[in-house]
Chain A
Amino acid sequence: MREAYIVTSVRTPGCKMGKGAFKDTRPEDLLTFILNTAIEKTPNLSKKDVDDIMVGCCFPEAEQGLNIGRIVGQMAGFPVEVPGATINRFCSSGLEAICQAALRVMAGWAEITIGGGVESMSMVPMGGNMPRPHPEYTRTHPELYIAMGVTAENVAKKYEIPRQAQDEFAFHSHMKAAEARRKNLFTELIPTPAVRYVLSDNDTYKKETFIQDFDDGIREETSLDALAKLKSAFSVKGTVTAGNSSQTTDGAAASVIVSETKVKELDLKPIAKLKSYALVGCRPEEMGVGPKYAIPKLLKLAGLGISDIGVFEINEAFASQALYCVKALDIDIKKVNIHGGAIALGHPLGCTGAKLCSTLLANMIQTGSKYGIESMCIGGGMGAAALFELCE
């Protein structure tokens, strides 16, 4: 197989659902902006050269429905000949889109593809607008549709992840993110136009555009005490709280994937190669353990060991599951989510896989790590993991 090179990988800020900067910004607009930015940041690339746009989305309906992959290609000014698709694998949708896009290049079926992700949790609620689980199947297997918070409790209970450890993990996520923001280390983050409705001089509301240039969920002022005071959010006597869970967030991200031929032809400087991608299923009621199985499967495919990996981006759906996976795989915690994770930066569902890719690549460059792994757990009981290799 051919190699697939990621030449550009960018993201919007992650902003809090319902009250954050993107609450009134349509997901198509976030995605349009980030696609155009990816193109602009890739020298010598013109839109007509793109073979396909694949967009991950967790709940592809309403504002982000109607095949947003195709819609946004057109909104962003790609010629009609450039197709687009929406990819869904719940929380790994963004990564899935990048990997499928890359695979097309690797197979020789395409030269240049874009993989990305988008989610406006403000506009489309988790679970979608109209969930309709199967009436008979749920009688015997309701856990296939289990609430994510309950799975986090299950993991905490079964694998004995105490409240204090979860809160500490959450605290560090905020502190790392706050420091990274202070030091401008989020080099993959692109200041993004956002919309708000303001009362204008003539007493009617008007749309106003402003630029959002930071992740607005980071709580620099939080403390272990403050986190310890929160009530359990998903269970009567639970340990999982709003503070040690990921934030619900809006955002978009995109990566440009190019074949070796085109890298040379367009004189591009690739960041990294996508080496391999592994998926695995697990029990739905403890879906958070997914990375624990996906990462070893990935390493086996690549013939590498845990110690070969310089940096990890493991999605912090919940502190309980993220911490459990890190411990169970004996990963050096200093290599994990070095600039904070979803507890501080947010988990915009279908965007997350694409967003973490851009963050991981930026962190690989900063740390000079040859190998980096991105991994996450997935609702319904799955784990995904992808291996990237830094280009010299």
Chain B
Amino acid sequence: MVRKIRKTAVIGAGVMGGGIAAHLASAGIKTLLLDIVPLDLDEKKKNDHGERNKLVSSGFEAVLKSRPPLLMDRNDAELITLGNLEDDFEKLAECDWIVEVVIERLGVKQDLFRRIEKVRKSDAIISTNTSGLTLRDLSGGLSKEFKQYFLGTHFFNPVRYMRLLEIISGEETLPEVIEFVCDFGERILGKGIVLAKDTPNFIGNRIGVQQIIMAMQLMHEKGLSVSEVDSLFGPVLGRPKTALFKTCDLVGLDTLAHVATNTYELVKNDEQKDTFKLPVFINKMIEKKLLGNKTGAGFYRSEWIEGQRVSKVIDLNNFKYQKVRETQFECLTKAGNADTLPEKIKAVVYGKDKGARFAWRVVATSLIYAASRIPEIADSIVEIDNAMKWGYNFQLGPFETWDAIGVEKSVNKMEQEGFSVPDKVHKMLQDGSRSFYKTENGKILFYDFDTNNYKEQKVSESIISIAALKAMDKTVKTCKSASLVDLGDNVFCCEFHTKMNAINKEIVDFLEESLDFTDKNGAGLVIGNQTAISPGAFSAGGDLRLMGDMARQKNFDDIEQFIKNAQGVMQKSRYAAFPVVAAPYGLTLGGGCEICLGAADKMVAHAELYMGLVEIGVGLLPAGGGCLNLWKKFIRHVPEPVQGLDFAKFFAPVFRNIAMAKVSSSAVHARSLGFLGPEDRIVFNIDYLIGEAKKEVLRMVDAGYSPPVKRALKVFGDAAQGVIHMELNNMLAAGYISEYDEFLAKRIGYVISGGEMRVDGEIDEEIILKLEREAFVDFWKEPKTQARVEHMLKTGKPLRN
């Protein structure tokens, strides 16, 4: 039997349930979303279908209104059907997977499972999204058959954006069921799977909340302020910008308190049990309804002062809000000067000032806590590290952090200061093992406390790690900005590794070398890279600083040469004798987008794709073939016998994408904007991206790849000018664009339409490239473009001048 998920049900349409249903729908799965009939219906309303579905409908409305959106494509909302637990319960019999996400009350959940037991298909999988109750209690009294198909699937909020999915096996759950859900969650839903044990709050929240509450207790003791703690526990330690307290505001203090209290009550034998005790100020804040973002104020509050949004932070002594002040810890200055994340972390935890001493205490306690929880909550360090990376957006998990600061050095310091370091860590060091992870023969190994030895980390066959390949000496060529890595089977990967993977001259030159190398030695090329940061950037665009410098020095010939060279490499790649596949994900803007459109035969894109040609924001236009190739992308699939088409209908969206700098909010959206075409694929799991791109190359090779033939290109011609002038005049008059926007957009339209050419005329595509170049150089000569670029480099935000 090959198990299939034809239809799922999500029971409970709250924030989590709605999020899960939306994500299932985004993955193309039909989903039945159910909630209870409101309890307070009067006689008249009792028979009203709408009233009976009121709770589920309002949950669904919240999904549709969510910002950032939980659905990748609004059209997928059609895949979700709504119902209530009385009238539509029988429909559960059609579902292959039923996810329970109702209120965290044992009795309620048990009753529900007993009802489900009666209607479920004999092989339907039932899972609970409980965070605090145990599977053992939940499934008590249910049949063996039910228990065999029953497991925990713990998603994190917001479901679309948080990668972690903790999977918890019950005592009797069939191994094939666990295996199936792991694969489904990873491949179809794109989640990072962590196998957790049936213990309170599983892995992510057990480790995460312990650290948060412990840090809160300690900050009080050490006299640190909220913003001081956040300055230490953010990006400088490889953690998200929301650091500690802004994360609490996001989650909601009530939810946090619930998890902490629940854990405190259940973990009887936990040596750090008291670190789950809520500090008094949390309870006071909950009383005052300062729950975080959901009530508009928590540890932080935004205020509008003279039309400007000002973030204020709470003073825990009097619960009043004050302006956030820059914190001045020496360790932060030192970390700021450090190049790599491990060095930054070391600067903080080994620093001497008050902030550093606090950070050290919290980090050390947390590392020890994590080590002490094995094997209680997880089999190995890998699960804990992954849970923290995927569930809390940490760049490094606890054990990776421990490696980063030096296990031996930190353990010595802990010992000196009276921390009780677990024996298993001592044992590891005594055996001469100096780190939790190491690479050997190119494989990543982790230290296994169970066997006191290193073990290979098991990952799905579809996952290719560029870092691991590089550790295996699979780097064919490299330079400061990019590397060429051997993916095996004669497929190579050109990887960028500049800041935000911005495209510079070195990358352009390196891409050409990679093409030459592949032409000689390879079957095909993947253009792709990987990151630990979510959502990350395939490439945030061209390196503005480089060209900005040239413009300031009036080296416009150099700019033209640079862009001509870039166009040449794009064309060379496009017409190469072997297949080229781009693997974009996350931010894929400007030059990054142009590479995908222009250099590759097709894209294998991650579902979270923020793609666009945004050059106009800095007063430029896509001149690395972006105008040419987006136009080609739009008209490429028109069959030859279709004649006399109104090219305005094709021209308008291409022009709008570029002149209005449209950026997709997902890969599906990129497809509806026309950046992705029918030949391009969307992959849900980001770790699969390079592997799937490689498979795509091999498929094209197998199918007998022949490069595209360069033919004359149909363009809209100068009829486009009239249309553009008319539309831009309206937009200018209405105040939607500035005069400079109009100036830029007119020229962009001129380029896309092929310049001075009869309507629907045919031209050599090199002409559009020439027009791109000319416009690009002319734009750089404009003071307003230079001002836009300068502003972007300084502030990271576009200037409207």
Docked-complex contact A150 and B725, CB < 8 angstroms: no
* Residue numbers in A under 8 Å from B729 (CB-CB): 138, 142-143, 145-146
Q: Which B residue's beta carbon lies closest to that of A145?
A: B726
Asked whether A146 and B725 contact (CB < 8 A) given A135-B718, A236-B736, the answer is: no
* Residue numbers in A under 8 Å from B175 (CB-CB): none
Does B256 lie at the interface of the complex (its beta carbon under 8 Å from any beta carbon of A)?
no
Closest chain-B Cβ to A164's Cβ sits at a distance in Å of 21
Docked-complex contact A150 and B733, CB < 8 angstroms: yes
* Residue numbers in B under 8 Å from A142 (CB-CB): 725-726, 728-729
Docked-complex contact A146 and B733, CB < 8 angstroms: yes
Q: Which A residue's beta carbon lies closest to that of B726?
A: A145
Within 8 A of A (CB), among B696-719: 718-719
Does A147 lie at the interface of the complex (its beta carbon under 8 Å from any beta carbon of B)?
yes
Closest chain-B Cβ to A264's Cβ sits at a distance in Å of 52
Does B648 lie at the interface of the complex (its beta carbon under 8 Å from any beta carbon of A)?
yes
Docked-complex contact B730 and A132, CB < 8 angstroms: no
Within 8 A of A (CB), among B727-750: 728-730, 733-736
Tell me the bound Cα distance from A96 to B200 in angstroms: 82
Docked-complex contact B723 and A131, CB < 8 angstroms: yes
Q: Which A residue's beta carbon lies closest to that of B735?
A: A236
Does A238 lie at the interface of the complex (its beta carbon under 8 Å from any beta carbon of B)?
yes
Does A134 lie at the interface of the complex (its beta carbon under 8 Å from any beta carbon of B)?
yes
Does B646 lie at the interface of the complex (its beta carbon under 8 Å from any beta carbon of A)?
yes
Does B223 lie at the interface of the complex (its beta carbon under 8 Å from any beta carbon of A)?
no
Tell me the bound Cα distance from A145 to B734 in angstroms: 14
What 1/0 flags go to A151-170 for Cβ under 8 Å of B?
Answer: 00110000000000000000
Does A133 lie at the interface of the complex (its beta carbon under 8 Å from any beta carbon of B)?
yes
Docked-complex contact A139 and B721, CB < 8 angstroms: yes
Most buried by A among B646, B648, B733, B735: B733
Name the contact of A133 in the complex, choosing from B646, B725, B734 (C-beta under 8 A): B725
Docked-complex contact A135 and B722, CB < 8 angstroms: yes
Name the contact of A146 in the complex, choosing from B648, B719, B730, B736 (C-beta under 8 A): B730
* Residue numbers in A under 8 Å from B718 (CB-CB): 135
Tell me the bound Cα distance from A5 to B730 in angstroms: 43
Does A209 lie at the interface of the complex (its beta carbon under 8 Å from any beta carbon of B)?
no
Does A237 lie at the interface of the complex (its beta carbon under 8 Å from any beta carbon of B)?
yes
Q: Which A residue's beta carbon lies closest to that of B722?
A: A133
Docked-complex contact A234 and B725, CB < 8 angstroms: no
Tell me the bound Cα distance from A149 to B718 in angstroms: 26
Tell me the bound Cα distance from A154 to B732 in angstroms: 13
Looking at chain B's contact residues, the main secondary structure is helix
* Residue numbers in A under 8 Å from B733 (CB-CB): 146, 150, 153-154, 235, 285
Docked-complex contact B722 and A129, CB < 8 angstroms: no
* Residue numbers in B under 8 Å from A138 (CB-CB): 721-722, 725-726, 729
Does A80 lie at the interface of the complex (its beta carbon under 8 Å from any beta carbon of B)?
no
Tell me the bound Cα distance from A154 to B730 in angstroms: 11
Within 8 A of B (CB), among A193-250: 234-238
Closest chain-B Cβ to A287's Cβ sits at a distance in Å of 13
Closest chain-B Cβ to A372's Cβ sits at a distance in Å of 35
* Residue numbers in A under 8 Å from B728 (CB-CB): 142
Asked whether A132 and B721 contact (CB < 8 A) given A142-B728, A153-B734, A237-B735, the answer is: no
Docked-complex contact B721 and A135, CB < 8 angstroms: yes
Looking at chain A's contact residues, the main secondary structure is loop
Does A1 lie at the interface of the complex (its beta carbon under 8 Å from any beta carbon of B)?
no
Tell me the bound Cα distance from A29 to B721 in angstroms: 37
Within 8 A of B (CB), among A243-266: none
Q: Which B residue's beta carbon lies closest to that of A147?
A: B730
Q: Which B residue's beta carbon lies closest to that of A131?
A: B723
Closest chain-B Cβ to A234's Cβ sits at a distance in Å of 6
Interface size on B, residues (CB 8 A): 18
Closest chain-B Cβ to A14's Cβ sits at a distance in Å of 26
Tell me the bound Cα distance from A274 to B230 in angstroms: 81
Tell me the bound Cα distance from A89 to B726 in angstroms: 20
Tell me the bound Cα distance from A230 to B735 in angstroms: 18
Tell me the bound Cα distance from A180 to B759 in angstroms: 51
* Residue numbers in A under 8 Å from B735 (CB-CB): 235-237
Tell me the bound Cα distance from A285 to B732 in angstroms: 13
Q: Which A residue's beta carbon lies closest to that of B733?
A: A150
Tell me the bound Cα distance from A132 to B648 in angstroms: 9
Most buried by B among A132, A136, A234: A132
Docked-complex contact B722 and A150, CB < 8 angstroms: no
Name the contact of B726 in the complex, choosing from A133, A153, A154, A235 (C-beta under 8 A): A133
Q: Which A residue's beta carbon lies closest to that of B750?
A: A135
* Residue numbers in B under 8 Å from A149 (CB-CB): 734
Asked whether A135 and B726 contact (CB < 8 A) given A153-B734, A236-B736, the answer is: no
Q: Which A residue's beta carbon lies closest to that of B732?
A: A142
* Residue numbers in A under 8 Å from B721 (CB-CB): 135-136, 138-139
* Residue numbers in B under 8 Å from A132 (CB-CB): 648, 719, 722-723, 759
Tell me the bound Cα distance from A143 to B726 in angstroms: 7
Closest chain-B Cβ to A21's Cβ sits at a distance in Å of 27
Q: Which A residue's beta carbon lies closest to that of B717?
A: A135
Q: Which B residue's beta carbon lies closest to that of A285?
A: B733
Q: Which B residue's beta carbon lies closest to that of A133?
A: B722
Within 8 A of A (CB), among B620-659: 646, 648
Asked whether A150 and B723 contact (CB < 8 A) given A130-B648, A142-B728, the answer is: no
Closest chain-B Cβ to A250's Cβ sits at a distance in Å of 23
Tell me the bound Cα distance from A143 to B734 in angstroms: 12
Docked-complex contact B646 and A130, CB < 8 angstroms: yes
What 1/0 flags go to B759-799 for Cβ under 8 Å of A?
Answer: 10000000000000000000000000000000000000000
Tell me the bound Cα distance from A134 to B759 in angstroms: 12
* Residue numbers in A under 8 Å from B720 (CB-CB): 135
Docked-complex contact B723 and A139, CB < 8 angstroms: no
Q: Which B residue's beta carbon lies closest to that of A127?
A: B726
Tell me the bound Cα distance from A153 to B734 in angstroms: 8
* Residue numbers in B under 8 Å from A146 (CB-CB): 726, 729-730, 733
Closest chain-A Cβ to B645's Cβ sits at a distance in Å of 11
Tell me the bound Cα distance from A143 to B648 in angstroms: 20
Name the contact of B734 in the complex, choosing from A137, A139, A236 (C-beta under 8 A): A236
Docked-complex contact B734 and A238, CB < 8 angstroms: yes
Closest chain-B Cβ to A235's Cβ sits at a distance in Å of 4
Q: Which A residue's beta carbon lies closest to that of B730?
A: A147
Tell me the bound Cα distance from A150 to B732 in angstroms: 10
* Residue numbers in B under 8 Å from A235 (CB-CB): 733-736
Tell me the bound Cα distance from A234 to B725 in angstroms: 17
Tell me the bound Cα distance from A285 to B734 in angstroms: 12
Tell me the bound Cα distance from A165 to B60 in angstroms: 40
Closest chain-B Cβ to A33's Cβ sits at a distance in Å of 31
Closest chain-B Cβ to A92's Cβ sits at a distance in Å of 22
* Residue numbers in A under 8 Å from B725 (CB-CB): 133, 135, 138-139, 142
* Residue numbers in A under 8 Å from B730 (CB-CB): 146-147, 150
Tell me the bound Cα distance from A149 to B736 in angstroms: 14
Q: Which A residue's beta carbon lies closest to that of B734?
A: A235
Most buried by A among B721, B723, B730: B730
Most buried by B among A134, A135, A154, A235: A135
What 1/0 flags go to B227-257 for Cβ under 8 Å of A?
Answer: 0000000000000000000000000000000
* Residue numbers in B under 8 Å from A135 (CB-CB): 718-722, 725
Docked-complex contact B734 and A134, CB < 8 angstroms: no
* Residue numbers in A under 8 Å from B759 (CB-CB): 132
* Residue numbers in A under 8 Å from B723 (CB-CB): 131-133
Closest chain-A Cβ to B753's Cβ sits at a distance in Å of 10
Chain B interface (Cβ < 8 Å from any Cβ of A): 646, 648, 718-723, 725-726, 728-730, 733-736, 759
Give 12 CB contacts A-B under 8 Å: A131-B723, A132-B722, A132-B759, A133-B725, A135-B720, A137-B722, A138-B722, A142-B726, A145-B729, A153-B734, A235-B734, A236-B736
17 other A-B residue contacts (CB within 8 Å) besides A138-B726, A139-B725:
A130-B646, A131-B726, A132-B759, A133-B725, A135-B718, A135-B720, A136-B721, A137-B722, A142-B729, A145-B729, A150-B733, A153-B734, A234-B734, A236-B736, A237-B735, A238-B734, A285-B733
Q: Which 9 A-B pairs give the minimum distances between C-beta atoms?
A: A133-B722, A142-B729, A138-B725, A135-B721, A236-B735, A235-B734, A145-B726, A147-B730, A135-B718
